[in-house]
Structure formats: C-alpha cells, structure tokens
Structure 1
Amino acid sequence: MSESTSSQPRIFGSDVPKTLFVLRHHFQKSPQAFEDAYKGHRAYIERNMAEGTFLLAGPAVPWDGGIILARAVDRAEMEAVVATDPLVDAGITKYDVTEWKTTIRRQEFDAIIPA
C-alpha cells in the first residue's frame, strides 16, 4: 500500500467538512510585556468575535500565550487576520495557525457555526 503524498486529508463517508482554524500564540517577550499591551489585543479579539471570525479565545495553561478557535474562507485569510493582532506587530507574540477540517460534530454545532 503506497502512502498518500497529498497535503489534503482524505474525507471518508458523506460528512461535509467544515474548516476551522486553531490559533495558538506564544509569548516572544515576557508576560509583563503582554499585560502592558493587553488593551490593543483585547480590542483585536473583540472585533474579530463581533465579525464572527473568532469563536472562542482565552489564555493557555500554563500561561505562555493563548488559544483561539476561528473560521475563515482559507488559510491566506486567516494568516491576514492573525497579522493584524497588535501583539504580532510589537513582537510580543507569534502565532501557529493550524487548519482543521472538522467532519464529525454534534448537530447543534451547525446551528452555531453555519457553513
């Protein structure tokens, strides 16, 4: 059996994938630097929540950054959103962006996050 070299996951069955993004940011400077710049980051989070891009957000434990569950049309759009965090511009944090193809989910999820 040969290994697949595709960068896209194989989707089995009739499940319709819904693309989400897991954003994990890690402090590049001290937590104090984050606290000093928090107001701008909070406004960034709230703006993206209001626009429907961000779904959940909060600090990681242990506190070395944070995690955001987000949605976007594609990775390029998500990367553009991440670049607008004022903490990125200030060099305080760096994001890892993971694209996630969800195929199995509770029915209620589709009402919360339409395709």
Structure 2
Amino acid sequence: MANIFIASLSYTVPIEQIDDLLKPHLEWLQAGHKAGHFLAWGPKEPRDGGVIFVRAKDRAEAESLLSSDPFMTNGVATSEIIEWNPRFLGSGLEAFGG
C-alpha cells in the first residue's frame, strides 16, 4: 500500500531564477502525475516555495522522486518531507486514500 507524503519546497534563490525553471518543473510534475506519484501541487502564498502531495511506497521512494525535480537538481530549492496518514477524507479527495 502506498503512503502519502507532503513535500514542502522552499526557494533558496530570487523568484526570477525559479521562473526560469518553471516549465521543466511543471513538466516533471505532470510526468509524476501520469506515473501515479503526484496527487496535487501548487505554490505557497506568499510565493516562497510550493507544496506537492506525493504517493510513494515509503519515504526513500518519496525522497528519490523529489530529488529529480529540476528545482532540486539545479539547487534553487530545498524540501521538507512529511509523512501523512489521513484519518478522514471529504468527498472528492478519494485519491489521497492511498
């Protein structure tokens, strides 16, 4: 059974450098979604990072997936990974049930 992880990204460079990598980052997210790993994502407010909901078999797999993010490979962001075990899911959130 897969687990859910919340990856909280924090930018370490000016937003202009983030914007330069936004297209490959979004392509990476879409590929991860097609593979069944990324359930949801979006920027934080204020825009100093982002959040990705990740489905993975364990923390090591989640870390491996996130290490291939163009933001990570280019050294423009760091991430904190939190394992999340949902106890309740409202209507429409079934994908988070693992």
1:2-13 aligned within 5 A:
none
Question: Which among 59, 63, 68 is matched to residue 75 of structure 1?
Answer: 59
Q: Which residue of 1 aligns with 2:82?
A: 98
| Aligned CA distance change for structure 1 residues 103 and 88 (closer, same or farther; 3 Å) | same
- Equivalent residue of 1:35, what SS? helix
* Aligned amino acid, residue 83 of structure 1: S
Q: Which residue of 2 aligns with 1:6?
A: none
| Structure 1 residue 105, shift from structure 2 partner | 2.4
TM-score, normalising length: structure 1: 0.76
Deviations 1:20-73 (A, max 9, x none): 111110001111000011111111111011111111111100100111111100
Identity %: 27
Q: How many residues align?
A: 98
Q: Is the 8 A contact 1:19 1:102 kept in 2?
A: no
Q: Indicate the structure whose relative CO is greater, using CA pairs within 8 Å and at least 6 residues apart.
A: 2
- Structure 2: distance between partners of 1:113 and 1:100: 10
| Structure 1 residue 19, shift from structure 2 partner | 2.7
- Structure 1: distance between partners of 2:3 and 2:86: 6
- Structure 2: distance between partners of 1:87 and 1:108: 30
Runs of 4 or more off by more than 2 Å in structure 1? 103-110, 112-115
> Is 2:27 aligned against 1:35?
no
The unaligned stretches of length 5 or more in structure 2 are: none
| Structure 1 residue 93, shift from structure 2 partner | 0.7
1:18-57 aligned within 5 A:
19-57=3-41
Q: Is the 8 A contact 2:17 2:76 kept in 1?
A: yes
The unaligned stretches of length 5 or more in structure 1 are: 1-17
